[in-house]
Structures are given as structure tokens and as C-alpha cells.
């Protein structure tokens, strides 16, 4: 009970500070005006989510009565203009839970690593797509404003990623026990998804990664390996990745706030 109360207090203090005020970029506004249906979306849903310690991968857990991944699916399928295809990278065993989407999405098989899953999704995208937007299924809180902004920046620069400046003090450690130094956070960004890239650029990057057996941690890292620019699109702190039970608590409160609900008792439950 004490842990739950502490989580309530932490979430209550956190949520009002989460949104970051930002302006829509000129490129994003231009894209919305042109209404080109040439962006393919790849939703990655192949992770196991071991840190959640649940009976299923985190993206399939209910959040306020709705499966986490379905927030992203419904957003891209129903609310975002300019989409030509939605590809869901999802293991065969879970696809029976998505029958209502069967006629509107294409399924692709996940790979051993994230980059393998991205390549699998990319192979299912239309060849004439101008951009590919790669999104984590465990990020149910991304907003249309964020999506249009990162789409516009990617259209202008070739690659763009949503992110926010790091707010916490960051320490580096060499052994995981003692502080080596304090990192200058003024140059640090926490990156989110969608990460949006021109398909040709992404394919060139994967060719280099495969040839040189490089390890990458996110999608735009592939572009970085080519020395090509990646635009940082200012996002929202609310676009969190649901990874732990504590994240479920905060995500639920953000949803309640967006729906105009109050009532902290709801934070005690996942649905």
C-alpha cells in the first residue's frame, strides 16, 4: 500500500510538468497541407518485455481497458493523414488478437534483434513510399502533433527522430559502482519514436551495418553510420515507453488527464 501511495504522489507531481510547449515546423505544416499518402508506418511489436514481469509482452497488456499496442494502431489508422501502409512486426502466435485490423494492416515477422525486425517491416513497405516511420508498440501516448512534426522534418532533412532534452543529472560509471564523472546534459537528448527515414537512406545504412557487422541501438543510428544528418524533432515528455509497472501507473494518469478525468483511485489499477 505504501508503494502505491508513493507512486501516486510521484505521478501527481510528474504529470503536470510533462508536456513540452513547441511550435509546429514549417515542413510539418506544409506536409499536412499537401496531404500526400506516401508514409509507411512500421510498428514494432516483437519485444518480450521481461522488465514488466507480466504473463505476456508489455505491448499486449491492458492500459485503461485497451491493449497498449492498439493505441498506436488506432492513431495511425484513423487519425493521421498521409499514411499509405501500416506494417505490424508481430509474431504469428499473437496475430489472432488483431483480427479487426486484418484488412487494414500487413503483418511481418520479428527478427532476433531490433534491426532485423525493422528490416522485416521495411521489406513489407510499398516501394514508392517516400518515408518510413518506425514506432515502438510500447509507446501508446505519442500525439498527432508530434507525428506531423517529425514527418515534416524527415521530409525536409531525410531523417528525423522525436526526442526531448535530458532533464536529469547524468553520471558516468566505469564499473557500475562508483561515479567516474558527471556528463554535461546540455548536449544530451532522450530519443523516442516514431523515427522517420527515407527508405533508400535506411537501406543504404543497413547495407553498411551488415557489411561491417556494426551494432546499433535505434533506427536513426543506421543513418548516423552513413554520416548523414538526423534532425532532432522536439517531442513531449509524455511520449514514454511503457517498460515497468511504474510506467503503467504514469501512463494511465496521463490518459486520464487527456480525457479530462480526475480521481486518483484509478491509478491503483492497470485497467
Convert the pLDDT of each residue in 65-115 to its tens digit. 999 999 999 999 999 999 999 999 999 999 999 999 999 999 999 998 899
> How confident is the model at residue 217, as a pLDDT?
83
Q: Dump pLDDT digits (tens) for 84-93.
A: 999 999 999 9
- Over residues 254-261, the mean pLDDT reads 89
Pairing of strands 66-67, 189-197: unpaired
Q: C-alpha distances in angstroms, 251 versus 78, 225, 228?
A: 21, 34, 34
Over residues 145-169, the mean pLDDT reads 97
Higher pLDDT, 191 or 27: 191
Helix (H, G, I), strand (E, B) or coil at 68: helix
Q: How many CB atoms within 10 Å of residue 237?
A: 18
Cell of 135: 514506432
Residues in the chain: 271
* Residue among 261, 241, 203 at smallest CA distance from 49: 241
pLDDT at 164: 98
Q: Are 242 and 68 in contact (CB under 8 A)?
A: yes
Q: What is the DSSP letter of 36?
A: -
What pLDDT is recorded for position 5?
Answer: 43
Question: Three-state SS string across 162-224, please?
Answer: EEEECCCCEEEECCCCCEEEEECHHHCEEEEEEEEECHHHHHHHHHHHHHHCCCCCCCHHHHH
DSSP, collapsed to helix, strand or coil, labels residue 13 as: helix
d(CA 113, CA 225): 18
Share of the chain above pLDDT 90, in %: 73
> Would you say the pTM of this structure is higher than 0.95?
no
Residue 244 main-chain phi, psi, to 5 deg: -125, 165
* pLDDT of 179: 97
The full DSSP string for 93-128 is GGGGGGGGGTTT-EEE---SSHHHHHHHHHHTS-TT
Q: Which helix (H) or strand (E) holds 255?
A: helix 245-258
Amino acid at each position: 500500500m505504501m508503494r502505491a501511495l508513493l507512486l501516486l504522489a510521484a505521478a501527481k507531481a510528474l504529470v503536470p510538468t510533462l508536456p513540452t510547449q513547441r511550435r509546429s515546423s514549417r515542413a510539418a505544416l506544409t506536409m499536412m497541407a499537401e496531404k500526400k499518402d506516401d508514409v509507411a508506418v512500421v510498428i514494432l511489436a516483437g519485444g518480450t518485455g521481461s522488465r514488466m514481469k507480466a504473463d505476456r509482452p508489455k505491448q499486449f497488456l491492458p492500459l485503461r481497458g485497451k491493449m497498449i499496442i492498439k493505441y498506436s494502431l488506432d492513431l495511425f489508422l484513423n487519425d493521421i493523414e498521409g499514411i499509405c501502409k501500416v506494417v505490424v512486426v508481430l509474431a504469428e502466435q499473437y496475430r489472432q488478437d488483431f483480427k479487426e485490423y486484418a484488412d487494414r494492416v500487413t503483418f511481418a515477422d520479428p527478427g532476433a534483434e531490433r534491426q532485423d525486425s525493422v528490416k522485416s517491416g521495411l521489406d513489407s513497405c510499398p516501394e514508392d513510399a517516400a518515408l518510413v516511420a518506425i514506432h515502438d508498440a510500447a509507446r501508446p501516448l505519442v500525439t498527432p502533433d508530434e507525428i506531423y512534426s517529425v514527418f515534416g522534418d524527415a521530409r525536409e532533412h531525410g531523417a528525423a527522430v522525436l526526442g526531448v532534452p535530458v532533464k536529469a543529472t547524468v553520471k558516468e560509471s566505469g564499473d557500475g559502482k562508483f561515479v567516474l564523472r558527471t556528463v554535461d546534459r546540455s548536449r544530451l537528448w532522450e530519443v523516442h519514436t516514431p523515427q522517420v527515414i527515407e527508405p533508400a537512406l535506411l537501406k543504404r545504412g543497413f547495407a553498411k551495418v551488415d557489411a561491417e557487422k556494426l551494432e546499433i541501438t535505434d533506427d536513426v543510428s543506421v543513418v548516423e553510420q552513413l554520416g548523414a544528418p538526423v534532425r532532432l524533432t522536439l517531442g513531449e515528455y509524455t511520449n514514454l515507453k511503457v517498460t515497468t509497472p511504474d510506467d503503467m501507473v504514469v501512463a494511465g494518469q496521463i490518459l486520464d488527464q487527456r480525457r479530462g478525468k480526475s480521481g486518483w483511485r484509478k491509478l491503483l489499477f492497470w485497467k
